[in-house]
Amino acid sequence: MITYSVKRLLSGAALLAVLSVITFFALRLGTQGVAQQIAGQSAGPEAVALIEERYGLDRPLAQQFLSWAASALTGDLGRSWFTGQPVTEAVLSRLAVTVNLAVGSVALTGALGVLLGALAATRRGWPDRLVQVLSVLGQAVPGFVLAVGLVLLFAVQLRWFPATGYTDPSDSVGGWIRSLTLPVLALAVGSVGGVAQQVRGSMLDVLRRDHVRTLRSRGLPRRRVLYRYVLRNAAGPALSVLGLQFVIILSAAVVVEQVFSIPGLGPVALTSTARGDAPLVMGVVLVTGALVVLVNLLVDLLQAFLNPKVRLS
């Protein structure tokens, strides 16, 4: 189990390393004339050279990368070219908001997905049709379109929830929940169908297995077999899908944050990429990448917990 975890951790680290290398060099290719831009269009060559020296842009690219990577390992991701703010600080201060949003959406997706999927597998009928409709909607309607629809209905017409903005839980827990309700819904509705479909499929698959019949032959009621044994065996594939949905939700959150004016990582990603603020873009890419790697690791560990064959080998 320990070797397994270490292996997964190392492969995640390798993934992040490759991601950093590709992003770093691609970004530097795209931001060649940035020193002039920072200095201003009217600045002379001396001023530009000064900027280049200050940001280390005059050194060979490989050397720049190595020094960036060395300080990145200590948690220092450099400073923004345009605001001078430390990148680690700029990214981490916004990360919590996005994580709130994504974790809330994934939790709602998981809860509803398992519930609907289990109902669809055992009762068929209306839950089955609902799951099918939801999975088509989830594949077809982008989260931000749903978000716009939700704002139109619940914020503009009914005025039940605020249309925009984010309230920190330290200010008001009620306000925090109210400000997150619509964005979380917009992100979750798209993912519920996929998870429910997977839960339904793997439950139907497990229901056909021999050990389910044997447990029933000992007189265990159908319900207990379903919710204790079948669900536990079906949880693995469902968890994998939920992990994939996290990546999709994280991606969709950038646009949904824009719809609701939520100060998460989305706006940072937008402004930094528009300006060509390479250190900040690197920071956003690396931190979201690390988040995904972390979630995948968590999924792998949970899988191992659910599957004794993996856990005990």
Partner 1 sequence: MSTPASSPGLVPRLLRHPLGSPALVFVVLAVAVAVAGRWLAPHDPTATSVALVMAPPSAEHWLGGDAAGRDVLSRLVVATTYSLAGGMVVAALAALSGVTGGLAAGYFGGWVDTAGAWLTALVMSAPAMVILLAARTAFGPSLWLSMAVFGALISPVYYRVVYNAVRAVCGEPYVDAARTSGLSTPRIIARHVLLAVRAPVILVSSGVVAAGIGMMAALDFLGLGSPSTPTWGQMLSEGFYDMARNPLLVLWPSLALGLTMVALVLLGNALRDELEGTSAPAPDGRRAPWRPRSEEPPRVIEHGDADERPVLLSVRDLAVAYPRGGGWTTVVHRSDLTVRRGQVHGLVGESGSGKSQTAFAVLGLLGQGGRAVAGSIVFGGQELTGLDEARMNALRGRRIAYVPQEPMSNLDPAFTVGAQFTDPLRVVLGRSAKEARRTALDLLARVGIPDPERVYRSYPHQLSGGMAQRVLIAAAVAAGPDLLIADEPTTALDVTVQAEVLDLLRELIDELDMSVLLVTHSFGVVADICDHVSVMSDGTVVESGPTRSVLAGPRHPYTRELLAAIPRGNPRPPLEGARP
**By CB under 8 A, what part of segment 247-286 binds partner 1?**
247, 250-252, 254-255, 258-259, 269-270, 272-274, 276, 278, 281, 284-285
Residue 57 beta carbon to partner 1: minimum distance, rounded to whole angstroms: 15
Strand partners, 79: 86
The answer for 112, left when phi > 0, alpha when psi is -120 to 50, beta otherwise, is alpha
Minimum distance from residue 214 beta carbon to partner 1 (Å) = 4
CB nearer to partner 1: give 47 or 220. Answer: 220
Q: Could you say which residues in the range 17-76 bind partner 1, by CB under 8 A?
A: 18-19, 23, 26-27, 29-31
Among the candidate windows 57-65, 71-79, 172-180, 204-212, which touches partner 1 by CB under 8 A? 204-212
Q: Give whichever of 50 and 220 is closer to partner 1, judged by the CB atom.
A: 220
Fill in the per-residue mask, 225 to 244: x = in contact with partner 1 (CB under 8 A), - = not in contact.
---xx--xx----------x
Q: Which stretch binds partner 1 (CB under 8 A): 11-19, 38-46, 65-73, 76-84?
A: 11-19
Give the Å distances, CA to CA, from 81 to 5, 61, 65, 95: 38, 16, 16, 20
Should residue 210 be labelled a site residue for partner 1 when binding is judged by CB under 8 A?
yes
Measured CA to CA, the distance from residue 137 to residue 189 in angstroms comes to: 8
- Subset of residues 134 to 163 that bind partner 1, contact rule: CB under 8 A: 136-137, 139-142, 144-145, 148-149, 151-152, 156-157
Give all strands (DSSP E) within the chain, no chain letters: none
Beta-carbon contacts of residue 19 (< 8 Å; ≥ 6 apart): 285, 286, 289
Identity at 188, one-letter amino acid code? A
CB of 151 to partner 1, least distance (A): 7
